[in-house]
Amino acid sequence: MSLRTRLQASIVALAGAIVVVLSLLYLRATITDSFEQARTIADSNTSQVESYIASIARARLASVEVKPTTADELVDVYVRAAEQDAQLSLLLEQLMANYPIIVEGLVTGPGERIVAASIPSKRGQRHAPLPSLEEFESKSLLERLEEVFSSNQDYEVSRELGFQLEGGQRRVLTIRMILSLVFLREVVLLPRLQPLAIVSGLALLLSLAAAGVVAQLAVRPLGHIGELIDRIASGQRDEAAAAERERAGSREVAAVESKLSLLGERVRGARDDAEQLRSNIDQLLTRLEDAVLLFGRDDRLVMAGGAVDRLVEGGRWAIMGRTIDEVFPLATELGAFVQSAISVRRNSRNLQVVHRGKDGEPVSLLLSIEMLEEFPSRDRIGTLVTLREAEPRRQIESRLDLSTRLAAISRLTSGAAHEIKNPLNSIALHLEVLKNKLEGSDVGAAEIEVISREIRRLDRVVRSFLDFTRPVELEIGEWDLAALLDELVKLVSPDAAEQDVEVIRSGAASAWTRGDRDLLKQAILNIIMNGIQAMSDGGRLDVELGRAGESWQVAIRDTGPGIPPENQEKIFQLYFTTKAKGSGIGLAMTFRVVQLHGGTIEFSSETGVGTEFRLQLPIAEESQGANPTRKGAELAQ
């Protein structure tokens, strides 16, 4: 609800409350006045009836010859006087016209028998006693209002007529004046309430109009301030509008605007810094291979790295805001480690635990827990939990070891190859001289041919050493990796068909990368040819291109016999081969080329099922003008 609406509702409610209170006070005064006036008139009527009955009773006592000697005889004289006097009923009837609320007058004798009444037909009947007017007046205002407008109850004002005897006061007759709530409501109150309702309605309408005007005037400065806050939020500032409002008399708003402008500058600066910091942290966490989870003071997750999606069911956005108990249940081995470390406030690093991943399979993880403490109180303000897959770490260590060994072999073979090549050249030269001397002779010809063939083979080996260890100068450019894969599939298809191997290309139709196209072409061709040659009885080779995070991934899958487990850690080693005529250089060269391009290569193999190699290469930056060849290719599409 807007401020303007709240102001209008408040003003209307206030006016309505005032009208209701005044109306209740008016009703209370009206009812009180009506009954006070009725009581006054009723008391006056009963006094007149009492005087009249006393006069006729004295006249009757004076006229009788035998004077009453007992109290009963005296009571009988009064009752007969009231009952037999015709003027008494006429007097009661005349008195009823004095005030409309008093609807009936009665005189009752012993046993509540009616001896005289303003309604003659009631004479001789027994009167049922009614509540006294004092009982009605003792009720609260709301109870009286409820009874007046919902009940037809009658009340009475009575006065007893009697005399004092030796045994005490003796009641002779009772004079009763009956007051009707129906007549009070219909004759007195409702005619007065009609103008009151009209006045109340007009008051509410006027209050509604006044509420709209007052609310408009009240929120106008707030509207100006709201516009200012919107401009601050959008980075704008309108000096002319501020000066105009100050000239119009809104100096207070102009002062607030000035202070808000200063505050807005600080807020924008702080917000930009906070957004930049959060963005940097998010990017850092997303690029980390580790799953990083940061819990706040209340043990709820406030930040999580992108790697959490691989390890936690539902992903990081599903668990954001949840407690440590919900993310790491105590019933799991991982949750038991985390919660026990937090309970004793102990930092832990690289604890190996087994956790069931999103697919339900057990995953070996390295768990690190660090308590974040406030200085100098050392109160815990958060918890940092880091998860790392143990297997990828071992793979990284294996790759580093392989790279180290390849580098060592390169340093060793580069020197040895040069030392070997010089004697080989000298031996080859002298062998040619010897062949010339023995030309035309059959002596030693076969032996010389064997020696010559082995020298040539040894020379090829030395040249391969030098080619592998020679520093590579990359010819970097932007090109379409998808087009390269299509070209390789077309190139190997004839050889694959001869071995009854079907080569299937799938995935992205365009994937621009940066690197040396020829070197990467040879590296990928080595893997494809190895896969085709491994399926001697036919099969299928899938070449799939897709995106994996910030890299392009080339997946090459064959349905061959697979790589035996004992050979899987050796396949990238130089000169390791299982082929009869293999050199053991192809995969080592592929590993080196991928590393030179900042990429990664990994594989998985299952005996009897097949092998899959996965190469990840960097994605070229989105720059249309950086490479005319790329731009032209994209325009042609």
511 and 433 together in one domain: no
Q: Taking the CB of residue 365, how many other CB atoms lie within 10 A of it?
A: 24
Q: Which residue bears the tokens 């897709």? A: 546
List CB contacts of 112: < 8 A, sequence separation 6 or more.
126, 127, 128, 129, 174
pLDDT at position 478:
92
Structure tokens at 132: 């006294």
List CB contacts of 288: < 8 A, sequence separation 6 or more.
305, 306, 307
515 and 623 together in one domain: yes
599 and 452 together in one domain: no
CA distance 231 to 163: 95
Per-residue pLDDT reduced to its tens digit, 61-106: 888 777 777 777 778 888 888 888 888 888 888 888 777 788 888 8
Does residue 234 lie in a domain region? no
In terms of pLDDT, which residue wins out, 335 or 169? Answer: 335
Does residue 344 lie in a domain region? no
pLDDT at position 438:
73
The pTM (predicted TM-score) of the whole model is 0.35
Boundary residue ending a domain (435, 453, 469): 469
Domain harbouring 194, CATH code = 3.30.450
116 backbone φψ class: left, alpha, beta (φ>0; ψ -120 to 50): beta
CA distance 129 to 158: 10
For residue 252, give its domain range.
239-279
81 and 165 together in one domain: yes
Q: 106 with 127: CB under 8 angstroms?
A: yes
Boundary residue ending a domain (469, 501, 532): 469
435 and 495 together in one domain: no
Structure tokens at 350: 């690289």
119 and 41 together in one domain: yes
pLDDT at position 111:
85
59 and 81 together in one domain: yes
539 and 460 together in one domain: no
Burial degree of 303 (CB within 10 A; 0-12, 13-18, 19+): middle
SS3 89: helix
Does residue 41 lie in a domain region? yes
89 and 159 together in one domain: yes
Structure tokens at 605: 């193999």
Least-confidence region, from 302-311, 556-565, 566-575, 613-622: 302-311
Into how many domains does the chain fold? 4
455 and 485 together in one domain: no
Specify the amino acid at residue 480.
D
CA distance 535 to 557: 11
pLDDT for 632 beyond 50 = no
pLDDT at position 535:
92
Which whole number is the average pLDDT over 292-321? Answer: 79
pLDDT for 616 beyond 80 = yes
Per-residue pLDDT reduced to its tens digit, 102-127: 888 888 888 888 888 888 888 888 98
Domain harbouring 576, CATH code = 3.30.565.10
pLDDT band with cut points at 50, 70 and 90 for residue 625: very low
The closest alpha carbon to 381, from 350, 345, 351, 338, belongs to 345
**If you average pLDDT over each of 29-33, 274-278, 298-302, which comes out highest?**
298-302
CA distance 217 to 209: 13
pLDDT at position 342:
83
99 and 130 together in one domain: yes
Specify the amino acid at residue 444.
G
Does residue 387 lie in a domain region? no
Q: What is the mean pLDDT of the chain?
A: 77
530 and 481 together in one domain: yes
pLDDT band with cut points at 50, 70 and 90 for residue 220: low
Domain harbouring 449, CATH code = 1.10.287.130
Q: How many CA atoms lie within 13 A of 135 on its CB side?
A: 11
The strand pair at 102-108 and 168-180 is best described as antiparallel
pLDDT band with cut points at 50, 70 and 90 for residue 249: very low
Does residue 525 lie in a domain region? yes
Does residue 213 lie in a domain region? no
Which whole number is the average pLDDT over 179-200? Answer: 80
pLDDT for 323 beyond 50 = yes
Does residue 119 lie in a domain region? yes
pLDDT at position 378:
80
Boundary residue ending a domain (175, 200, 225): 200
Which whole number is the average pLDDT over 420-432? Answer: 74
350 backbone φψ class: left, alpha, beta (φ>0; ψ -120 to 50): left
